[in-house]
Structure formats: C-alpha cells, structure tokens
Amino acid sequence: MQVGMVGLGRMGANMAERLRRGDHEVIGYDRNPEVSEVGSLSELVDRLTVPRVAWVMVPAGDPTEQTIQELAGLLQKGDLIVDGGNSNFRDSMRRAAELEERGLLYMDAGTSGGIWGLEVGYCLMVGGSDDAFRRVEPALKTLAPEDGYAHVGPAGAGHFTKMIHNGIEYAMLQSYAEGFEILEASQFDFDLHQLAALWNHGSVVRSWLLELAERAFAKDPKLSEIRGYVDDSGEGRWTVLEAINESVAAPTIAASLFARFVSRQEDSFAMKVIAALRNEFGGHAVKKQ
C-alpha cells in the first residue's frame, strides 16, 4: 500500500524504512529539508493516491495538533490520518470526532519498539473504526512482528492502551533500578553486567529490559559517564491521573513517576540505570557528567 509518512525522526524514519522493505510505497515529509522527500504537506498530499493514508509521527501536543489540522484542510473525504505518536487519548477522541464531521477517517496507533523497531518490529495498539483498521492493516502487518498488532477499540483506545503500557514501563524500570542500586551500594564488589546476564537465563525477572541492562553495563560497568537525570514523556503522568479519575490504586507507577522528579534534583545510581535503559531501548538522550 501507499503511505505518506509525516515526521522522519528516529521513529518515523525507521518505520518508513521498514515499510519500504515490505514493498510498500512511502513518501516522507519532514520539516527538515535535508531528510524530507517533498517540500510541504501540500506536496505530500498531492503525491498520494486517493483514498490517501497520512501517518503522523511528530511530537505530541501542539506539533501533532497543528499537523493534523493542516492535513485535514488538504485531504478529501474518505482519506485517513493515522496518529502514531504519544498523544493523549482524549485528544485522539476529539480529533476523531472532528475529522469525522469532515468526512475523514482517523486512527490512533500507540507504537512501542523504539530504535529497535526497524529490525524486530513495532508493537502497535490501534484505535479507530473497523474501516480505518482494515484500510491500514497491510502496513500494520509489515511494521509489527507476528502477533504484534491489534485493533483494541474505537478512537482513543489505542493511545489509552499505550499510555498504560508506558505507565507499566515506568514501574518496571524503577524496580530494576532500585535493585541494581542496592547491589552497587552493598559490601560486595558485584559485576552488574554478570548479574544482569545471569538473571536472563531461567530467572523469573528475565526480560528484554534486563537484556538492555546487560548492554548498558557492558559499555559502562558503573554507569560513570551518565548523569542520573531522567525525563518523563508525559504518559506516566497521564496514567497516574487516570488512576485517580477511576479511583484505582496505582502506588507503584505513581512512585516511579515521582522518583523521576527526584532524579532532577540529585544524582542517583538508580536514575543512571533508567537513563541508560531508556537510551538503549528508545535512543533517548542521556546527560553526560
């Protein structure tokens, strides 16, 4: 199928490449002319075949809002906009309703996979109508590994699912970080790379994140080159707020979010572990000492 990819950063560019490897036609647009294949969104729309599919991979918030509004003014009835970024699910529900009034289809695709997605595929949590899902399913099959995508509900459900996914991720990262900090602070001179590797063979705490910890400790055994400063993308905050709205206890996720706030006030080995893991799985920048 043909896809117009809007946003060719570390995620969008890799997704475009994976689609091309799957024999899809991709036309890419980015505000950076050095990587863009067309000069404007208008030119992108003109080059797409009706009914068009425009896949948006730009930062959440105003950049996504402005991009979708501009696309809506250029597209025609029956065209489809996919938001693959980390938008708030309430924004996705609103956008779907607004675009439906204009005869446009909308799909929110929560996307996980980071910088590794090009090679191993992306986990895709898709919200939207059945028509929108069927339209874009050939691309989903290519982007995801086997059983790695699902239509999880109406518009907004995809980004809600991704929000909770990231909230869980916060807590998992914090658990590993605290464990490794206790090991590092103990009277024993542990080889943290050795322990991460050991736990990935038969242990109940084995995981892909722990494999990435192996990589991080192999590069820098004491994480001495990384400052213990950890940003948050916003989805952890949204998860905690939704837990409050629904009167659901989520103390572990909440504590992991608050720990990131602490990381911005003082240097912490636990926060170094999280910073290193986020760099490994998502290519997120780390602050050097």
Location of structure tokens 């949590």 = 125
Q: Which of 162, 214, 235, 272 is catalytic?
A: 162
State both tokens at 125: 């949590």
CA–CA gap between residue 75 and residue 40 (Å, rounded): 14
- Active-site annotation holds for 169: yes
Whether residue 141 lies in the annotated active site: no
Q: 278 to each of 5, 14, 186, 235, 253, how far by Cα in Å?
A: 25, 18, 25, 15, 17
Alpha helices (H) along the chain: 10-21, 41-47, 62-74, 89-101, 117-120, 130-143, 157-185, 192-199, 208-219, 235-245, 251-263, 269-282
Radius of gyration of the chain (CA): 20
* Token pair recorded at residue 35: 């990587």
Which sign does the torsion angle of CA 66, 71, 77, 82 carry? Answer: negative
Catalytic annotation, pick one of 70, 169, 225, 246: 169
Known catalytic residues?
Answer: 162, 169
